[in-house]
Amino acid sequence: MVGCGSSDAPADNGGGDGTEQPVAKDEGPKENAEAVAEYEQGLAAEVRGDYAAAREHYIQARVHQPGFRDTEERLDSLGAILMAEMGYKEAQESGDAAAQASSAVTYAQALRARPANARDLHRSRQLLLEAADKNPDDAEAHYVLSVVAAERGDFAESAEQAMAAIELNPDHAGAHYQVAFLKRTGEGAEAEMALSHAQMAVDKAPEPQAHYYELLAVCQHEAGDTDSAVASIEKACELSDKARYKERLNAWRPPAEPPADEPPADEPPMDGPPADEPPADEPPADEPPADEPPMDEPPAAEPPPADEPPADEPPADEPPADEPPADEPPADEPPADEPPPADEPPADEPPADEPPADEPLPGMDD
């Protein structure tokens, strides 16, 4: 038997000389050559900035092989870009500076809302600078400039543009979020600044945003306010099911404790023993102690202790109460084993030289 539950011999992958030959791997469905060609032409058109041509090539690639690579995602983003580009061109022809600035911001956002490897951040920045120049009071242009600058790695410009947006519109939640995000790793005043702007981003957002609550939670946690951080990340979890929110919550939330009115599972209640068991040191109320006889019966006969005489007998070293001591004769009789002393008369007889006590002395007769 070669393997568990199998009695088949392994397949022979060796050559005629017994050497093992490599096994071909399954690389999935083969790509259609025409689809590959159309896709590559679409990429080239994107690099040139010819988004309409790029879109047509991706459509043809999808015709040759449905679901080819990331054609669906690219078609969606290119559709948004073409719509924004059309609006931008119409605004330029209108001569309205405010409309031109607004359309430039929309066009710039469409250019950056692409897969990371397809973003045209340079063109996006040019459009935004143009918008800010035509309408210096446009807070949105400065805000998107801040986002693009951060994506380009220019964090100093990003912070500057975000603060400019807040000066123009103190209620711009996105700009507050951007400042908090940029300052979150700082210390001292920068850390306090990050926490303040993160809170304002949450408070001023038209609709609750999960990532706003996440950033607020991070700033609170860095400040040592774990309880507030847990509350904020719990709110983020309510708004979104992203795994990272739950990971933060599990990392910060303290272990659950038993309710105050209930004892721990492994310990008896504080007020007494468990209901089904008697106390360890006391017998049940309806039963006598295990080592004592029942209350309604007399104690079982027990021998007296070794060092004490039986309860119904006199002590071994003392004579019975009604009898004289064993070692002494009765009070009215001489000792049984000893005769009276030779020089003294018996205790009940008078001395030989004296008359008996009950008889008169000689010569005393009347």
pLDDT at residue 357 is higher than 80: no
Task: Determine which of 146-160, 178-192, 325-339 has the lowest per-residue pLDDT on average.
Answer: 325-339
DSSP sequence for 214-281? HHHHHHHHHTT-HHHHHHHHHHHHHH---HHHHHHHHHHSPPP---TTS--TTS--TTSS-TTS--SS
Q: What ranges do the domains of the chain cover?
A: 194-254
Chain Cα centroid distance, residue 253: 5
pLDDT at residue 317 is higher than 70: no
pLDDT at residue 255 is higher than 50: yes
pLDDT at residue 220 is higher than 60: yes
Q: What confidence score (pLDDT) does residue 42 get?
A: 92
Distant-in-sequence, close-in-space partners of 205: CB < 8 Å, separation ≥ 6: 173, 212
Q: Report the chain's terminal Cα–Cα distance, integer Å.
A: 149
The average pLDDT across 210-236 equals 97
Q: Is 188 left (phi over 0), alpha (psi -120 to 50) or beta?
A: left
Return the structure tokens found at 108. Answer: 């710039």
> What are the φ/ψ torsions at residue 85 (nearest 5 degrees)?
-65, -40
Per residue in 187-197, pLDDT tens?
788 999 999 99
Banded model confidence at residue 11, pLDDT cuts 50, 70, 90: very low
CA-to-CA distance for 128 and 147, rounded, in angstroms? 11
Between 329 and 28, name the one with better pLDDT.
Answer: 28
DSSP sequence for 168-221? H-TT-HHHHHHHHHHHTT--THHHHHHHHHHHHHHHH-SS--HHHHHHHHHHHH
| Number of Cα atoms under 13 Å in the Cβ half of residue 187 | 0
Query: What percent of the chain stands above pLDDT 70?
Result: 61
Q: What confidence score (pLDDT) does residue 35 get?
A: 92
Max mean pLDDT among 182-191, 296-305, 317-326, 343-352 falls in 182-191
CA-to-CA distance for 13 and 96, rounded, in angstroms? 74
Between 335 and 221, name the one with better pLDDT.
Answer: 221
Please give the model's pTM, rounded to 2 decimal places.
Answer: 0.57
For 363, counting Cβ atoms within 10 Å of its Cβ (0-12 exposed, 13-18 middle, 19+ buried), the class is: exposed
pLDDT at residue 353 is higher than 80: no
Q: What confidence score (pLDDT) does residue 1 get?
A: 41
Tally of CB atoms within 10 A around 41: 17
Q: Which residues pair with 6 in a beta bridge?
A: 3
| Number of Cα atoms under 13 Å in the Cβ half of residue 196 | 6
pLDDT at residue 54 is higher than 80: yes
Per residue in 69-103, pLDDT tens?
889 988 998 999 999 999 999 998 988 888 989 99
With CA atoms as reference, report the closest residue to 70 among 124, 125, 118, 22.
118
Chain Cα centroid distance, residue 296: 59
Tally of CB atoms within 10 A around 198: 27
Q: What confidence score (pLDDT) does residue 265 get?
A: 62
Residue 314 vs residues 137, 311, 323, 325, 330: alpha-carbon distances, Å: 120, 8, 11, 12, 19
DSSP 117: G
pLDDT at residue 333 is higher than 80: no
CATH of 194-254, one of 3.40.50.170, 1.25.40.10, 3.30.300.30, 1.20.140.10: 1.25.40.10
Task: Answer whether 18's CB lies under 8 Å from 6's CB.
Answer: no
The one-letter amino acid code at 303 reads P
The one-letter amino acid code at 200 reads M
